[in-house]
Structure 1
Amino acid sequence: MAKEVERKFLIRDESWRKAVERSVAIIQFYLAISAERSVRMRISDGKAAKLTLKFGSDLRVRDEFEYPVPLAEAREMMTFAIGNIIRKTRHHVRHGGYVYEVDVFNDVLDGLVVAELETTDSVPDALLPAWLGREVTGELRFSNASLALNGFPELVP
């Protein structure tokens, strides 16, 4: 079991793009969602699939378990998806010794761009990259499960 410690941010500008190290096309969908747990399937670059189980209601720190799934079975399970199937490109951007995952959403979530930082360290705000905007950690409407169920979140300043 791994503890996932995650901070999430909106993006201020496009300057992060010049530091992209790699990008992955992701299709992700949920098979079960509740307030304290979720079951997610993720297909990366159309080549590999993982089933992820997350437990806990704290969006910043949760217990997470991941398992590889045969690609054909993952695609078959897509018919059981709850809500929207999320399509996004995840860009890995290094800054200050950390890798930020910048998700550029497509399809029903087109226009949404969110950066995530997963680390056990407490990164002071002064060391965060300038291209990050408002922190939305803990705001349920920006969780991927909520995006699947409710679609594009209202962007309140």
Structure 2
Amino acid sequence: MAIEIERKFLVVGEAWRDQVEDETRLVQGYLTEDAHITVRVRIRGDTAWLSLKGKTQGICRLEFEYPIPIDDAETLLRELAVSPLIEKTRYRVRHAGHLWELDVFAGANAGLVLAELELKDLDETFVRPDWLGAEVSNDPRYFNVNLARHPYCDWS
């Protein structure tokens, strides 16, 4: 069984940009509006994935990902996405032995920058980079599926 353990933080400042290892453009959309399962299609560069994610329990949830043909992904996003697409650039930054993924959102979520860290277990410790802001792991507004439904530009 695949369990995702992920912590999510706001990002402050631009100092992280000096540590970027790589970057990739992502477009993703959701195929269901079910509260118990998220079905996502993501195009990352020239690859595509279908992801099934269970309901978040704290910072954990079931996650299954499968590669799919990019043509299929484009059709699914165009024809079956139930909410607007999420557009972002993902930057990977290594800090103190951990690989962080920083998402700089575009479109309706422009201005939002989030850092995510996947952990091997709930008790795993990590060193906080200087550019790490407030933790938002348990704030559902920052879940990508909710950013598609209620984008950052609409927050008051």
Deviations 1:78-113, CA, capped at 9 Å, x for gaps: 121111200100000000100010000001111110
Measure how far apart 1:148 and its partner are: 0.9
Alignment of structure 1 residues 132-151 onto 2, 5 Å: 132-151=132-151
Report the counterpart of residue 49 of structure 1 in structure 2.
Answer: 48
Number of matched pairs:
153
Specify the SS of the correspondent of 2:146: helix
Give, in whole Å, the separation in 2 of the partners of 1:48 and 1:70: 8
Report the counterpart of residue 4 of structure 2 in structure 1.
Answer: 4
1:25 alignment partner AA: R
Measure how far apart 1:150 and its partner are: 1.1
Give, in whole Å, the separation in 2 of the partners of 1:59 and 1:93: 24
Structure 1 consecutive aligned stretches of length 4 or more whose deviation exceeds 6 Å: none
Sequence identity, in percent? 42
Report the counterpart of residue 118 of structure 2 in structure 1.
Answer: 118
Report the counterpart of residue 21 of structure 1 in structure 2.
Answer: 21
Structure 2: where are the runs of 5+ without partners?
Answer: none
On the 8 A contact 1:37/1:57 being kept in 2, the answer is no
Matching of residue 39 in structure 1 with residue 77 in structure 2: no
Alignment of structure 1 residues 65-80 onto 2, 5 Å: 65-78=64-77, 79-80=79-80
Give, in whole Å, the separation in 2 of the partners of 1:148 and 1:24: 19
Give, in whole Å, the separation in 2 of the partners of 1:33 and 1:62: 17
Give, in whole Å, the separation in 2 of the partners of 1:3 and 1:57: 10
Q: TM-score scaled to structure 1, two decimals?
A: 0.92
Give, in whole Å, the separation in 1 of the partners of 2:133 and 2:141: 16
Matching of residue 60 in structure 1 with residue 59 in structure 2: yes
- Shift of the 113–43 alpha-carbon distance from structure 1 to 2, 3 Å rule, reads same
1:91 alignment partner AA: Y
Give, in whole Å, the separation in 2 of the partners of 1:59 and 1:123: 15
Give, in whole Å, the separation in 2 of the partners of 1:11 and 1:56: 25
Which is worse superposed, 116-125 or 58-67?
116-125
Backbone CA RMSD of aligned residues: 1.6
Measure how far apart 1:33 and its partner are: 2.9
